[in-house]
A and B are shown apart, each in its own frame.
Chain A
């Protein structure tokens, strides 16, 4: 089935630095979603980006479907950006369910 790998597993940055998170997947997919989970919280959808580049606030996602990868760029990181970021895409066995990566834990230090 679909495999989703995220890197790095964890990332520690100073406030104001840019963060780059990667997501690689094993099968071509037509949908991809990035989620954010603050410590102890639920998942919040950040970007729904099946292909190309999408922006929202300080977030930019670029998905290159042919190369089976997507990235999430966070510019001028803030302490409140700390948390875990997941990418997810449709399961190969059924497009109405998602396969999640294991997440990237982002820690922003003052």
Chain B
């Protein structure tokens, strides 16, 4: 089995600040994802990456940057935090090709 870790667990920032969230997986999965979940709502895809150094925009990429530094890690940056912005950011990974079963990390609360 494997595990996905996200850091930090909680993130507090000031308006306009750039905030970075990190995700690590040891499944050896090719594809990694960043989702945003607002209270009482479903998940919206921000960015995903199908391999190291690859980056694909999701439905909510504006206001975010992402970086796939290596196969096991995927970072997300909130480029300018908004006042009273609250959400949970979830990282996930899956095997590329054939199987799309996704595994999720514990989340970072902004």
Contacts and interface: CB of A to CB of B under 8 A. Distances in A.
Nearest to A35: B104
B64 to A, nearest CB: 16
A98 B42 CA distance: 12
Interface residues of B, number: 23
Contacts of A94: 56
Given A45-B101, A48-B99, A48-B101, 10 more contacts: A31-B99, A33-B100, A35-B104, A43-B104, A86-B42, A88-B102, A98-B45, A100-B42, A102-B41, A103-B42
B70 to A, nearest CB: 19
Nearest to A88: B102
Interface of B: 31, 33, 41-43, 45, 48, 50, 56, 58, 90, 92, 94, 96, 99-107
Contacts of B90: 42-43
Interface of A: 31, 33, 35, 41-45, 48, 86, 88, 90, 94-98, 100-103
Given A100-B42, A100-B43, A45 B102 contact: yes
